[in-house]
Amino acid sequence: MNSVVIIPARYSSKRFPGKIIADLNGKPVIDHVYQRSIQAELVDRVIIATDDRRIYKKVEGFGGQAVMTSSEHRSGTDRLAEVASELTADFIVNVQGDEPLIRPEMIDQAIKILKDSKDAEMATLASPISEIEARKPDRVKVVLDKNNLALYFSRSKIPYYREEDILDQNFLQHIGLYVYRKDFLLKYTELEPTPLEKAESLEQLRALENGYKIKVGITEHHGPGIDRPEDLKEVSKILKDNGGLN
């Protein structure tokens, strides 16, 4: 079965405009993401989807494949679907362009989860985090059923432990890596935004609210993404210290 990674890349960002092409240890952030993506064993092709010529030229410069897309898309998933609609592929992988520490094996893990699943239309990953981290609204949490299907995603601390002194409190941070069956992705982007999606500002809730299932894999590997200029220093140190293994 054919799997294609598409990396949606836009220039505008409220907290850090142009972060996708910011310099990180001598090359653009998006280059790090691209190079890690092409190392995944289950990936047949990697494409960067953008609506900005500055990003397009940077990708050309490091030898990656870029595709220009509409500037009217309301989300990265819509940009993904525009490119996917022209591809022959079974699975479409959405890798975030601001995650230079993504591991190739994480991409493979998510693809394998969906390939092996008979009841899910999407797959993603999550990583254990501390209770202190779980309090932060920019850390999206997920709770699962006994079959590792997502029950809910939230910016709030979930689950809520009524007894504060419970020692084995478990929290999972959602990692924004998605694998879709191609036909589902095209259908998914035609669905209207849903109430919970709008309340939490979490697009994946649209799938759950419409009755679709999301399978979640657990990984211990997850480093910081690039959200603010100061994140570049932290990620740069990780790359220099251990080759980005996190």
The three-class DSSP label of residue 68 is strand
Taken in order of first residue, the domains within the chain and their CATH numbers are 3-242 (3.90.550.10)
Contact 231, 225 (CB under 8 A): yes
Contact 177, 96 (CB under 8 A): yes
Residue 81 main-chain phi, psi, to 5 deg: -65, -35
Tell me how far apart the alpha carbons of residues 147 and 145 are, in angstroms, rounded to a whole number: 5
Nearest CA to 243 out of 107, 101, 105 is that of: 101
pLDDT in tens, the chain (246 residues): 799 999 999 888 777 889 999 999 999 999 999 999 999 999 999 999 999 999 999 999 999 999 999 888 888 899 999 999 999 999 999 999 999 999 999 999 999 999 999 899 999 999 999 999 999 998 999 999 999 999 999 999 999 998 877 767 899 999 999 999 999 999 999 999 999 999 999 999 999 999 999 999 999 987 888 988 999 999 999 998 876 555
